[in-house]
Amino acid sequence: MSYQDEYKRKLVSADEAVKVIKSGDWVDYGQFAGQVVDLDAALARRKDELRDVKIRAVTRAAGVPRAVQEDPGQEHFIYNNWHFGGVDRKLHDQGLCYYIPILFREVPTYYREHMDVDVCMLAVTPMDEHGYFNFGLNNAATMAAIEKAKVVIVEVNRNMPRCLGGSQESVHISRVDYIVESSNWSVPELPPPKICECDEKIAGLIVEQIEDGSCIQLGIGGMPNVVGKLIAQSDLKELGIHTEMMVDAMMEMYLAGKVTGRYKNIDKYKMVYTFAMGSRKLYDFLHNNPAAASYPVDYTNSPQVIAQNDRVVSINNAVEIDLYGQVCAESAGSRQISGTGGQVDYVEGAFLSRGGKSFICISSTFQDKNGQLHSRIVPTLSPGAIVTTSRSTVMYVVTEYGMVNLKGKSTWERAEALISIAHPRFREQLIKEAERLKIWTRTNKLVS
């Protein structure tokens, strides 16, 4: 049987495909910008026939899932998510989304060894002449989910870019049970992050620490993107990319001639990533581009793999940090707002890299809804706050007031260092709190 004949035999409507889903099933929706849309709508139409169907996704970028909209009482569908975006965060606030704690590098192992997948549904590119459907922008743990699934359904979207590997970036038709041709919905884009003066100051401090031939990882958000833009405008050269998320700033670095990958020890000359989100320009850049290589997340985020490249520079954001050096990057108090993601993976990997540096970036303050100013450097983390990166793991911390390296520092040295880069308005109070916590000694310098 030819691949085209097999395609025709497996081709069904979305409504026909979701008939395989039973009450109590675990159903994967795909990841990031590659989550299903038409299959979601078809599943929602079966609401009254089903109970306790558990949906699993990662950073829903295509709007609120129809299944969740149709079932606010959660009698029929229960929505779970590995990493919150804006949609997931709002649903969580309404009690309609549940977070799955992870280390991103471990997710393929969770699928293969610890979780059930009754039905795996995912968005893919059209089949190629060899019978393969490409995962597009979303590698991560996709193949692991397919391997564990009892049933695999692909939703073909002609707008999905074909992203070359790497490894495990596509699935053969022989492993697919049903094929649905989608409405060719627009692949979700990320709006350009808002950039403030504080971000620019922090980014400027970091760029000064980057050497020619460094290998770069940028996290999500305004500040890491500013770093990328400054790199694109700098005199730096011969940089490499080994990252979790491919973003527009990395494309700009490449187009500006700053990225060659010449000095990488592995994947030389390739920009390595596990998923991409950004503008349509980025997606068009990645389409069939041999300069970029899509890999599963247990490769891109393995500290041992990351460390094989020299001079790795890891740049990530935080919500707050306490005087011990504990970093919260995923919650506001007990309110989950994002996820652990790959921050821990890259902080560890950069430290293991020869000449590597990891930077946790944080604005010194924030304003609450009443306009009151608060310090993001705090004596202890807010009640209920999640520790994303432990104090033992953190390396550089950067605010708009400076940069400190916490490696090898005692608790009183850490307190002194962090207070030195806090907003001046809060430094005296932080010193008093450090004294109360017995992490301030007479040898500490007073910070004005």
Q: How far is CA 333 from CA 102, 202, 310, 319, in A?
A: 18, 24, 36, 10
Secondary structure of the chain in HEC code, one letter for each residue: CCHHHHHHHHECCHHHHHHHCCCCCEEEEEEHHHCCCHHHHHHHCCHHHCCCEEEEEECCCCCCCHHHHCCCCCCCEEEEECCCCHHHHHHHHCCCCEECCCCHHHHHHHHHHHCCCCEEEEEECCCCCCCEEECCCECECHHHHHHHCCEEEEEECCCCCCCCECCCCEEEHHHCCEEEECCCCCCCCCCCCCCCHHHHHHHHHHHCCCCCCCEEEECCCHHHHHHHHHHHHCCCCCEEEECCEECHHHHHHHHCCCECCCCCCCCCCCEEECEECCCHHHHHHHCCCCCEEECEHHHHCCHHHHCCCCCEEEEEECCEEECCCCEECCEECCEECCCCCCHHHHHHHHHHCCCCEEEEECCCEEECCCCCEEECEECCCCCCCCCCECCCCCCEEEECCEEEECCCCCHHHHHHHHHHCCCHHHHHHHHHHHHHCCCCCCCCCCCC
Centroid of chain to Cα 185: 23
Kind of pairing between the strands at 132-134 and 170-172: antiparallel
Nearest CA among 415, 412, 375, 386 for reference residue 327:
386
Say how far apart CA 240 and CA 190 lie, in whole Å. 24
- Are 281 and 193 in contact by the 8 Å Cβ rule? The answer is no
Length of the chain: 448
Q: Residue ranges for the binding site for CoA?
A: 219-223, 319, 342
Cα 378–Cα 380–Cα 386 angle in degrees, nearest 5: 105
The amino acid at 323:
L
Catalytic residue, candidates 155, 244, 320, 348:
244
Tell the residue number behind the tokens 């000095």, with chain if given.
263
197 is catalytic: no
The residues carrying an active-site annotation are 244
